[in-house]
Amino acid sequence: MKKLLILLSVIAFAIGLTACSAEKEEAQPEKKETEKAVEPAVNPKSVMYKFYMSIVRTINDADADLNAYEGEKDPEAQAELKGAASESAAAVAAKVEGLEVPAELKDQKADLEAALADIAESYRLKAEELKKDAPAFDAADEKFTQGEEKIGAAFESIDMKKPSLAKEL
């Protein structure tokens, strides 16, 4: 008699356990469907910061010779670096022109594209000035400042502080 009760208890326990596990399996697919339907919203601040850092990286990757020229105090050494600095500035201009504004920044796209155009133009002006005997970077620096201000305006439009591109470079 005891064996029969134990056997019936084991069968009832197994049926109960099987029924509970079947409910969990059915509930899981519903969760997966709702997870797929809800896509996380894109954070424009994060996208903006990543894009800004890509600008900095792009410029820093190509402007080493230009920085060496601008940092050199000795006029004779500066004269030796002039050709490489001009090529470096032209390379930066080409690379900056090749940057694409992310689609997530559609509201800031006009400002950012104008900023990239100004920055590229400033490096083009530097490249041209370096071909002269006495280069003057005033016009190039003004153009760079205009581009930097446009980047700042794009940052402020999404409640971010203005960065200083000149300090990053």
Lowest mean pLDDT segment, chosen from 5-19, 22-36, 97-111, 133-147: 22-36
pLDDT of res. 26:
53
Instruction: Tell whether the model's pLDDT for residue 17 goes beyond 80.
Output: no
Domain locations in the chain?
1-39, 44-168
Please give the model's pTM, rounded to 2 decimal places. 0.74
| Token representation of residue 145 | 């400042």
d(CA 112, CA 86): 25
Instruction: Tell whether the model's pLDDT for residue 7 goes beyond 80.
Output: no
Give the Å distances, CA to CA, from 74 to 22, 70, 128, 132.
81, 10, 21, 18
pLDDT of res. 28:
56
Instruction: Tell whether the model's pLDDT for residue 155 goes beyond 80.
Output: yes
pLDDT of res. 15:
79
- Return the biggest CA–CA distance within the chain: 112
Instruction: Tell whether the model's pLDDT for residue 119 goes beyond 90.
Output: yes
